[in-house]
C-alpha cells in the first residue's frame, strides 16, 4: 500500500517506535492520528511534528469505551482511516511467573492483548470499506522466543502474533493487508512507560546494541508498502528466530544465561 495521502492511526505515538513511526509517516505524506495515554509525551510528539496533518488523542487502549470513542474522533479530524498500527505495549516486572502478582498480569494482558483486540474490533469495519488498507500489529522477539522474567509479557505478544496471523488468513481476498512485526532490542523507554525500574545489567547484556526507533519505523513502513506478513526488526530478532527454529533447547539455555543478571536472586 502506498503511504502518501493515507490516514494512519498509531498507538503508543507519544514515544519510542510509535513517535518515530508517526513522524516518518508524516514525512512520507500521510496523515496521522497519534494515540497515547501519556499527555506530556504525546504533546512532545506534536511539537516535533509541527504539522496540521497530525492529530493527537489521549486514549487508554485497555479501556474499550475509550477505544470505541476514538474512531469517530479520527474520522472527524481526517475524514477516514486507511491504516492501523497497534504499537502500544508494556513489559512486566522482571520477576519469574511464580512471583508475578495478578494486578501486573492483568495490566500486561489488558494493554498488550485486549488493547490490540479493542482497536482491531473498532477499526476493522472502517478499514474494510476503504479501497486499500493495512493493519500492523507489533509483537516482539519475546513473542516467538522465551525470555525468563518476561514470560507473561512474552505470552501476551505470542497471542498478538497468532491473532495477527489468524486475521491475515481471514482477510485473504479483501482490501486489507496485515503484518505482524517482531522487534528485538529497541532503544526506547518502554521500561519507564511500563512503570518499572530497569534492572542493572552486566557487561555481557550490555553488548547488545539496540536498534533505533527510526530504523524500526522504516522497517514497519516497508512492511506496509510491500504487504509483508512478517517483519523482524534488528539483527538480534532475525538471528534468534533462526536459532530457535534450529535448536529450541539450546536457544532457551543461551538466553536464560544472558538473563540471569536481570532476575532477582
**Is 118 noted as a catalytic residue in this protein?**
no
Question: From the candidates 114, 153, 232, 244, which is the catalytic residue?
Answer: 153
Q: How many CA atoms lie within 13 A of 238 on its CB side?
A: 7
Neighbours of 117 (CB within 10 A): 16
What is the CA 48 to chain-centroid distance, rounded?
Answer: 21
Whose cell is 503508543? That residue is: 12
Cite the active site residues.
153
Amino acid at each position: 500500500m502506498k503511504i502518501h495521502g493515507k490516514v494512519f492511526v498509531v498507538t503508543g505515538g507519544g514515544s519510542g517506535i510509535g513517535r518515530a513511526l508517526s513522524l516518518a509517516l508524516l514525512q512520507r505524506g500521510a496523515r496521522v492520528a497519534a494515540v497515547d495515554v501519556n499527555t506530556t509525551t504525546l504533546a512532545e510528539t506534536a511539537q516535533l511534528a509541527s504539522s496540521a496533518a497530525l492529530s493527537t488523542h489521549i486514549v487508554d487502549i485497555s479501556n474499550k469505551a475509550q477505544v470505541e470513542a476514538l474512531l469517530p474522533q479520527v474520522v472527524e479530524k481526517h475524514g477516514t482511516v486507511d491504516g492501523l498500527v497497534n504499537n502500544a505495549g508494556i513489559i512486566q516486572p522482571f520477576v519469574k511467573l511464580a512471583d508475578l502478582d495478578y494486578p501486573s498480569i492483568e495490566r500486561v494482558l489488558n494493554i498488550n492483548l485486549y488493547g490490540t483486540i479493542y482497536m482491531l474490533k473498532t477499526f476493522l469495519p472502517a478499514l474494510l470499506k476503504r479501497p486499500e488498507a493495512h493493519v500492523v500489529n507489533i509483537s516482539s522477539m519475546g513473542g516467538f522466543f522465551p525470555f525468563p522474567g518476561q514470560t507473561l509479557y512474552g505470552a501476551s505478544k505470542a497471542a498478538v502474533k497468532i491473532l495477527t496471523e489468524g486475521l491475515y488468513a481471514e482477510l485473504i481476498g479483501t482490501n486489507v493487508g496485515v503484518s505482524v512485526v517482531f522487534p528485538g532490542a529497541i532503544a526506547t523507554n518502554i521500561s519507564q512507560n511500563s512503570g518499572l525500574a530497569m534492572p542493572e545489567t552486566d557487561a555481557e547484556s550490555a553488548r547488545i546494541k539496540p536498534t533505533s526507533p527510526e530504523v524500526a519505523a522504516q522497517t514497519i513502513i516497508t512492511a506496509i508498502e510491500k504487504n509483508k506478513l512478517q517483519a523482524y526488526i534488528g539483527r538480534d530478532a532475525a538471528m534468534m528466530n533462526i536459532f530457535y527454529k534450529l535448536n529450541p533447547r539450546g536457544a532457551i539455555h543461551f538466553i536464560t544465561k544472558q538473563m540471569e543478571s536481570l532476575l532477582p536472586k
